[in-house]
Structure 1
């Protein structure tokens, strides 16, 4: 089999492909799309019939091979270009009975979803492949065992590879890190990344003493993580809650106090929109290409999951505000919302906590105070208890 760039043969129009298919009756792959980033990438391919799919992992270079029955590829060559986790994608016929897609991984990856679904219109099927960044040793184990095939490829229900646990897992995300220093203090010039990491470690220490809770850090040192990697770490740890910590700056130096954010397509106010836009630029600072579009969401169950998750996120935000009120300074309207990418996990309730503003010298002084930091960590633990209590009653 000869591998060419993009496809093994020039793409054909759908009508031409179907005419060619009539003799030997291969499937027709008539549309394709790909979207994602350096942590998660989704590929969707539409077929006129149901394809049997088998996956195989190959090293040196790292590749994922998708074996298909005889298939005529009729979509535009540019619709399945190298994106996100994949540095090269090639596809075409192996012989008159089989076809293949070969995806070269830019970083070690695995498919956490390999699912064939009937199209809603009843017209054909779509193959949905969700790739996720994995440690190099995990990819090496996949290559070694070659465990996945058409019969046991993971489906959407296997998406989070974490053993069932009765622990309540909290992912603590220290904002920024590495080349992305974040904001800078107005007086001391302290970097935001140092403040968030110190607070994350303080909160982690306190939560480690809580019965039934397991706290995990997305980063424990001064390293850069893309926004998607932060979400991915939380999901791979089976997080029941994600708390992302920040201490931003504003042009209005007199504005001070803590703020809690939850995700929303529409920002609650201009300040929230500006902060979300600035925080979402962390990837660009670290040299990570920003995704031009989101992965296709065409699943009613997933949409319902997002709604439920958002409701839990709002509940946690309200618990934080209640815990902080009268104890530490809060901004006016302390619960706000905007499109923060670090809060995007569809199945993990998430909040972004602005501890204060480094642009305000009073806030800056407190943010650098160990005793104040410990007090806020204790109040946050109290909020987590308040949020978790009804979940425990309901068996969550």
Structure 2
């Protein structure tokens, strides 16, 4: 939660009358109450710690399986390296001091090294293998009550050629460790390079395939699109990209928001390609958050997205307490216009690139995934699988590249304009 904005409101001139005076008095009370909250309730960006008693690395048949329990969910990525065979797991700021001495009980894994990655803001674990093993499952489960997370990594046997074909760090990632043991230095992990942090959220995944047309699943289509968009953004050298999922796994909607906060997101973009049962829907649409949907179709789409969390037993019907509601509403006073500016910019650039937009390209609805009060967030429907033309586009790499180029331009333009607005507000 950005309390800086709230303090600005609390410093309204003392001679204000009416609504401003009431608001100022209420804010002083709320800020006092917020300051008394336990640190765990405020530390969204804190470094995660390893829960040693619940963490283990063991053989599983001809392969191996790792369970890594953490005090909170953090974004992570997995890749492989050859010569020697290694599996690398990068996390956003994990303190390794809680890793138990007997953690590695696997004969298939010859050594485990932990430390900081060369890329600022990332911690790293390197598993050196006795033989080629490829990640078959890389998933994170989050306890909705405690916020604790459990990373499951299952490694299955692979051929030498198959391993070599997939090996290599993602763009922008170095292969080694900055620190080979112990807890990383938090000062070395802070993001100081000035790059924009964009969190891409490919919708659905795992038990929730999203829209389905024949053997095509929305979850897979938007994951491919998000991966390609990530590389396009990284190539600019101005953007750091974090994905809420980089595999066909289920990530609950609240966890997606938690991961964005842990990544220090400057903006959050959820990507979808839905299908509609009735009426015509074709072309790209960009949504921002509103408790009142802009039309019936938007309301139905938001309900359809949120209902997917019931597949994993996540109850989204509980009401937040009054204090939290007010604090979040106040934070949205700042983020809502920034999100609207991003959405408008995306629509304008898609149109300028000659790509098809929906007849009503700007929508509003109560999507749960957009409810991070402190992060400008939009939901982008890149097209509708129920429309034959859109589906053809979604499967066409040339069309996807054009759409991604438009989005990159719009995001960078928004970042410049947003920074300029922030500079004016500080004066």
Report the TM-score range of the alignment, normalised by the length of the smaller protein.
0.5 to 0.7
Unaligned 5+ segments in structure 1 are 1-46, 63-106, 112-129, 138-143, 146-161
Give, in angstroms, the shift of residue 184 of structure 1: 1.1
Give, in angstroms, the shift of residue 395 of structure 1: 5.8
Q: TM-score, normalised by structure 1?
A: 0.59
Superposed, which structure 2 residues align to 1:205-244 within 5 Å? 205-244=231-270
Alignment check: 8 A CA contact 1:258 1:355 kept: yes
- The answer to whether the aligner puts 1:262 opposite 2:276 as a matched pair is no
d(CA) in 2 for partners of 1:175 and 1:54?
A: 28
In the alignment, what sits opposite 1:157?
none
In the alignment, what sits opposite 1:176?
204
Give, in angstroms, the shift of residue 164 of structure 1: 4.9
Number of equivalent positions: 262
Give, in angstroms, the shift of residue 135 of structure 1: 5.1
- The answer to whether the aligner puts 1:393 opposite 2:408 as a matched pair is no
- The answer to whether the aligner puts 1:274 opposite 2:300 as a matched pair is yes
- Spell out, residue by residue over 1:131-176, the C-alpha distance to the aligned partner (whole angstroms, 9 max, x if none): 5334579xxxxxx99xxxxxxxxxxxxxxxx835422100011111
Closer/same/farther in 2, CA of residues 205 and 51 from structure 1, 3 Å limit: closer
- Spell out, residue by residue over 1:213-257, the C-alpha distance to the aligned partner (whole angstroms, 9 max, x if none): 101111111111001111111110000001100001112364211
In the alignment, what sits opposite 1:92?
none
Alignment check: 8 A CA contact 1:253 1:359 kept: no
Alignment check: 8 A CA contact 1:258 1:353 kept: yes
Unaligned 5+ segments in structure 2 are 1-32, 42-49, 56-68, 74-144, 153-181, 184-188
Alignment check: 8 A CA contact 2:252 2:314 kept: no
d(CA) in 2 for partners of 1:312 and 1:395?
A: 10
Closer/same/farther in 2, CA of residues 251 and 167 from structure 1, 3 Å limit: same
Alignment check: 8 A CA contact 1:226 1:288 kept: no
Which one has the bigger helix percentage? 2
- The answer to whether the aligner puts 1:291 opposite 2:306 as a matched pair is no
d(CA) in 2 for partners of 1:179 and 1:369?
A: 26
Closer/same/farther in 2, CA of residues 296 and 256 from structure 1, 3 Å limit: same
d(CA) in 2 for partners of 1:305 and 1:255?
A: 33
d(CA) in 2 for partners of 1:222 and 1:323?
A: 30
Closer/same/farther in 2, CA of residues 367 and 169 from structure 1, 3 Å limit: same
Closer/same/farther in 2, CA of residues 51 and 207 from structure 1, 3 Å limit: closer
Give, in angstroms, the shift of residue 201 of structure 1: 0.5
- The answer to whether the aligner puts 1:384 opposite 2:411 as a matched pair is yes
Superposed, which structure 2 residues align to 1:1-396 within 5 Å? 109=71, 132-134=147-149, 163-165=190-192, 166-185=194-213, 188-252=214-278, 254-285=280-311, 287-298=312-323, 301-326=327-352, 327-394=354-421
d(CA) in 1 for partners of 2:247 and 2:361?
A: 29
d(CA) in 2 for partners of 1:291 and 1:256?
A: 29
> Which of structures 1 and 2 has the bigger CA Rg?
1
Q: TM-score, normalised by structure 2?
A: 0.55
- Spell out, residue by residue over 1:84-106, the C-alpha distance to the aligned partner (whole angstroms, 9 max, x if none): xxxxxxxxxxxxxxxxxxxxxxx
- Spell out, residue by residue over 1:54-89, the C-alpha distance to the aligned partner (whole angstroms, 9 max, x if none): 99x997689xxxxxxxxxxxxxxxxxxxxxxxxxxx
d(CA) in 2 for partners of 1:163 and 1:293?
A: 35
d(CA) in 2 for partners of 1:51 and 1:347?
A: 18
d(CA) in 2 for partners of 1:348 and 1:51?
A: 21
d(CA) in 2 for partners of 1:325 and 1:335?
A: 12
In the alignment, what sits opposite 1:140?
none
Give, in angstroms, the shift of residue 278 of structure 1: 0.2
Alignment check: 8 A CA contact 1:253 1:360 kept: no
Q: What is the RMSD computed on CA atoms of the aligned residues? A: 3.4
